[in-house]
Structure 1
Amino acid sequence: MSAAEWKKKCEAEWSLQGAPLPDSLDWKSVYEAKPLGRNLLKNPSPLGLSKDAPPPEPEQRDMPMHGPPRFQLDGDFTGWTTSVEILPYDTSGIPEGVVVCQLPQYSWFSMEQVVDLKAEGLWEELLDKFQPEIFIQDCYEESQVHQSIYQLHVKLLGADKSTVISEHCVNPTEDLSTYSHTWKEVSHVFCNYGPGVRYVHFLHRLKNSFMMDFYPTKFTGSSVIVRPVTTSS
């Protein structure tokens, strides 16, 4: 097909009528990159879990674990930058004089990834003038590990990767009186964010606990999707 035909194909399939479509772009390459409507995160479910199935039940052991405490989930974290923050023991609720043999030790397991929107096939005129919706989604396991087990921080960054144009944070408090062992979905739509967005920085943190055994908080379905629509409000 000709360059004009590739351009028309992109415009029709992605409903980009009214969006800036410069002739200078290689529309065949743009079409093959499919930057709109797909998940731009690499390896979005490194634990191999799906939100379409319930989280796996915690593993029941006959004997407690041996060896040093664990603070990180097993998985393939290719594409992610990971880190572990081991938290100090919480003794605030222990009455004075009470002897405690063991306390749970908590840790935050952090995963982050930066999406280069231009490298994924999006173009500056679309991001600056049309400003398509940037849809964020994540799922974490309902658990009774702690009242705070999940945090999400997503930033839209400029070309220098340091200028924050828009951001969204989630830090829910869990209701420990109920337990249904399901996925909890978190989502947000960035719209009318202004010109200059070139990167999306996605960071989430999951809290794990260790006391004779490892009690993790699982997750799946992390998503950054650019949708070919705009929102007026």
Structure 2
Amino acid sequence: MSTAEWKEKVEAEWSLQGAPMPDGLDWKSVFDAKPLGRNLLRNPSPHGLSKDSPPPEADLPEFPTDGPPRFQPDGDFSSWTTSTETLPYDTSGIPPGAVVCEMPRYSWFTMEQVVDLKAEGLWEELLDGFQPEIVIQDWYEESQLHESIYQLHVKLLGADKSTVISEHTANPTEDLSNYSHNWKEVSHVFSGYGPGVRYVHFQHRLKNKFMREFWPTLFTGSSVMVRPTKTSA
């Protein structure tokens, strides 16, 4: 096929009529990359779980475990940059004079990725003029370890990776009186964000608990997807 034919094929595949389709691009490579409508995050489910099945119940041992505390969950976190923040003990609810033998300890486990939109097959004219919708989705376990167990922060960045063109933050609060132990969805659609977007910085944090045993808050199905839908400022 000629370059012009591959260009027409890209335009038809994602219904991009009216979108800027400049000459000089390798349209066969764009078509093969399929940058629109697929998840651009790598390794979106490090725990090997699916949102279509309920989160697993904790497997508690018959006897308490001795040893140093563990603040990071198990999983294959390749493609993610991870860090752990161990939180101080919360003594606010302990009355004066009370004797406490043991208290839970919490930590935030942070995972982040940066998506290079041009490297994934998108082109500058499309991002700047057409400004397709950028859809964020994530699923976290309703673990009820604490009233705050999940945080999301997503930024659309310019070519220098430091200029923030648009951003979205979610910090839901859990209902500790209702235990259903399901996956909870967090999502957002970026539209009309203006020209200059070249990267998506995806970051979420999940709270874990340690008191003899380790209780993580799991997640699955993280995604950054660009839809072939034109938006306006």
The answer, yes or no, to whether TM exceeds 0.5 is yes
* Number of the residue aligned with 2:193: 193
Unaligned regions of 5+ residues in structure 1, if any? none
Aligned counterparts of 2:66 and 2:17: Cα–Cα separation in 1: 62
Aligned counterparts of 2:21 and 2:194: Cα–Cα separation in 1: 18
* Number of the residue aligned with 2:16: 16
Shift in Å at residue 89 of structure 1? 0.1
Aligned counterparts of 1:52 and 1:7: Cα–Cα separation in 2: 37
Shift in Å at residue 110 of structure 1? 0.2
Shift in Å at residue 230 of structure 1? 2.1
* Number of the residue aligned with 1:82: 82
* Number of the residue aligned with 1:229: 229
Percent of aligned positions that are identical: 79
* Number of the residue aligned with 1:166: 166
1:117-157: CA deviation from partner (whole Å, max 9, x where unpaired): 00000000000000000000000000120000000000000
* Number of the residue aligned with 2:64: 64
* Number of the residue aligned with 2:108: 108
Shift in Å at residue 54 of structure 1? 0.7
Q: What TM-score do you get using the length of structure 2 for normalisation?
A: 0.99
Aligned counterparts of 1:135 and 1:64: Cα–Cα separation in 2: 43
1:23-53: CA deviation from partner (whole Å, max 9, x where unpaired): 1100000001110000000111011011111
Shift in Å at residue 231 of structure 1? 3.4
Aligned counterparts of 2:230 and 2:190: Cα–Cα separation in 1: 10
Q: Which SS does the other structure have where 2:6 is aligned?
A: helix
Aligned counterparts of 2:128 and 2:202: Cα–Cα separation in 1: 20
Which amino acid letter does the alignment assign opposite residue 215 of structure 2?
A: Y
Aligned counterparts of 1:49 and 1:66: Cα–Cα separation in 2: 28
Aligned counterparts of 1:63 and 1:158: Cα–Cα separation in 2: 53
Q: Any conservation in 1 of the 2:131–2:232 contact (CA below 8 Å)?
A: no
Which amino acid letter does the alignment assign opposite residue 205 of structure 2?
A: R
Aligned-pair Cα RMSD in Å: 0.8
Aligned counterparts of 2:194 and 2:69: Cα–Cα separation in 1: 46
Equivalenced residue count is 233
Q: Which SS does the other structure have where 1:135 is aligned?
A: strand
Aligned counterparts of 2:80 and 2:46: Cα–Cα separation in 1: 9
Aligned counterparts of 2:205 and 2:82: Cα–Cα separation in 1: 10
Unaligned regions of 5+ residues in structure 2, if any? none
